[in-house]
Amino acid sequence: MKKLAILGAFGVIAAATTWAQQTPADVVKAQCAKASNVTEFWHGFRDAVQQNVLNALAAEFNKTNEGGCILPIPQGGYADLSTKIKAGFAAGKVPAMAQAFENNIALYLEADKLIDLKSIGVRPQYIQKRFIDAATFKGVLYGLPFNKSVQLMYFNKDLLKKFNAKAPTSLTEFTEVVRSISKAQNAPAFWFQPTASTFAPIFLTLGGEYEVNGKIQINGAIAVKALQWFLDLTKEKAAKPITSGFINSQLNDTFGFALDTSAGMPFYKSAAKFNLGISTLPGAKRGVPGVALIQGTNLVVFNDAPKNQQALAAKFMNFAMQPRNSAIFATQTGYVPSSDLASETAEYKAFTKTNPDFDNVIKQARFADYEPRISDWEAIRFNILEAAIKEAVAGKATAKDALDKAQKQVEDLLSGRTK
């Protein structure tokens, strides 16, 4: 009975967010105060929902590790996290473990800062091969897929009903329905952030590729077409660019559709005052989902950390990857379960019984792709590609001009002409 209660705690803590009047972070803090091995885990989760789930997972792990403790430490958002880690290299101060995008792994490897995860005891046997391959560089696994997301279509079922429309499954249908509802309600129905993240699923669904013959290309015909699609809908007042903040914190009853990360699921669910629909992305053809961008991060372990911390980090990774823990983490955050076995667990089945939409996360993960795994990609996606998208959406440049200029900037950066 006691064992059951302990096993159940992570789910309960994460769901209720407090446990015995303490937050999960308080529980971890108390555990670490007593531990001789405090292993820091720097992360980029800003929001309470995700921080609670993460701390609850750490608290559950720490309970079984006398003398050792994993201490999650928020560093701001993802970009703050990688900035702090880069600064940490120079200052000789990095944590034992951190979240990292694939391009961050490439960058940290250039500085020779990451440890081969298998060498410290990480066992990735049943993890999705796709994720493992993306975190493998020159045959060595450096990252464990901890919180990987795919994009989904979030929509307002009430609005569709009001205008007698069906949820679109192809891009053509999506464009039509967005146009007709926007016209009928006299307000844009498709809301989007003018970012590299939102651009990607349209670009990828239209057949775009960022790497062509080993070269980064962001101004090909498909890229121009994808950006033009956003510009046309914006101009027609069928799409509304959300230039600051998350879409999920601004929902109202004119909101029709967004193509957004599955990690947004808890936020959309709690914010929507309408019946929320969640489906796979509209595809190039009816009945075949569109191609989502895979985002979210992997866990990496740094070379310079003491051996006992590296060992505890590896043990934590194995714990997090256990199907039951992966299932709880995924269902409470919207991230893709890291293993297929997670969806066989009682926890997963119980959750999807009352939240059948969640299965779309797993369905969509079969239609998803990565951005390039090169060390300069973070700079490219934010400072160059996203800047170009914002410029065009703001009406300051045509799609082609903005992307041509961006392509030149990419080439200058990659050839070392600029930094």
Among 8, 67, 77, 207, binds ligand FGO (CB under 6 A): 77
Q: Is 149 in the site for ligand FGO (CB under 6 A)?
A: yes
**74-82, 226-234, 278-286, 322-330 -> range binding ligand FGO (CB under 6 A):** 74-82
Segment interacting with ligand FGO, rule: CB under 6 A, options 40-48, 280-288, 305-313, 338-346: 40-48
Of 136, 261, 309, 310, the one binding ligand FGO (CB under 6 A) is: 261
Q: Is residue 164 classed exposed, middle or buried when 0-12, 13-18 and 19+ CB atoms within 10 A define those classes?
A: exposed
Q: Using the rule CB under 6 A, give the single segment among 78-86, 116-124, 282-290, 342-350 that binds ligand FGO.
A: 78-86
Of 177 and 265, which CB lies nearer to ligand FGO in the complex structure? 265
Minimum gap (Å) between residue 290 Cβ and ligand FGO: 16
Q: Which residue has 């936020």 as its token pair?
A: 267
DSSP bridge partners of 42: 73, 98
Please report whether residue 210 would count as binding ligand FGO according to CB under 6 A: no
By CB under 6 A, name the one of 378, 384, 389, 399 that touches ligand FGO. Answer: 378
- State the binding string over 264-303 for ligand FGO (x if CB under 6 A, else -): x--x---------------------------xx-------
Q: How far is the CB of 351 from ligand FGO (least distance, A)?
A: 19
Q: How far apart are CA 152 and CA 264, in angstroms?
A: 9
- Fill in the per-residue mask, 98 to 117: x = in contact with ligand FGO (CB under 6 A), - = not in contact: ---x-x--------------
Please state the three-class secondary structure of the chain as a single string: CHHHHHHHHHHHHHHHCCECCECHHHHHHHHHHCCCEEEEEEECCCCHHHHHHHHHHHHHHHHCCCCEEEEEEECCCHHHHHHHHHHHHHHCCCCCEEEECHHHHHHHHHCCCECCHHHHCCCCCCECHHHHHHCEECCEECCEEEEEECEEEEEEHHHHHHCCCCCCCEHHHHHHHHHHHHHHHCCCCEEECCCHHHHHHHHHHCCCCCEECCEECCCCHHHHHHHHHHHHHHHCCCEEECCCCCHHHCCCCCCCEEEEEHHHHHHHHHHCCCCEEEECCCECCCCCCCCEECEEEEEEEECCCCHHHHHHHHHHHHHHHCHHHHHHHHHHHCCCCCEHHHHHCHHHHHHHHHCHHHHHHHHHHCCEECCCCCCCHHHHHHHHHHHHHHHHHCCCCCHHHHHHHHHHHHHHHHCCCCC
| Binding-site string for ligand FGO from residue 160 to residue 199, where x marks contact by CB under 6 A and - marks none | -------------------------------------x--
Instruction: Please give the size of the binding site for ligand FGO, defined by CB under 6 A.
Output: 25
Q: Does 355 bind ligand FGO (CB under 6 A)?
A: no
Rounded least distance, CB 42 to ligand FGO, Å: 13
Helices 323-333 and 48-63, interaxial angle, to 10°? Answer: 160
Q: CA-based Rg of the chain, rounded to a whole angstrom? A: 22
The Cα–Cα gap between 337 and 327 comes to: 6
Q: Please, what is the end-to-end C-alpha distance for the chain in angstroms?
A: 59
* Part in contact with ligand FGO (CB under 6 A); list of ranges 105-113, 122-130, 228-236, 376-384: 376-384
Amino acid at position 288, single letter: V
- Identify the CA nearest to 329 among candidates 20, 37, 71, 53: 53
79 binds ligand FGO (CB under 6 A): yes
Would you count residue 78 as binding ligand FGO (CB under 6 A)?
Answer: yes
89 vs 246 by CB, closer to ligand FGO: 246
Taking the complex as a whole, the smallest distance from the CB of residue 72 to ligand FGO amounts, in Å, to 13
Closest CA to 266 of 248, 246, 288: 248
Binding to ligand FGO by CB under 6 A, coded x per residue (else -) over 223-252, reads: -----------------------x-xx---
Closest separation in Å from C-beta 373 to ligand FGO: 10
Task: Indicate the residue among 9 and 242 with the shorter CB distance to ligand FGO.
Answer: 242
Closer to ligand FGO at the Cβ: 75 or 309? Answer: 75
Residue (150 or 181) nearer to ligand FGO, CB? 150
| Nearest approach, Cβ of residue 111 and ligand FGO (Å) | 17
Candidate list 51, 62, 82, 298; residue touching ligand FGO; CB under 6 A: 82
Residues that bind ligand FGO (CB under 6 A): 45-47, 50, 77-79, 82, 101, 103, 147, 149, 197, 246, 248-249, 261, 263-264, 267, 295-296, 377-378, 381
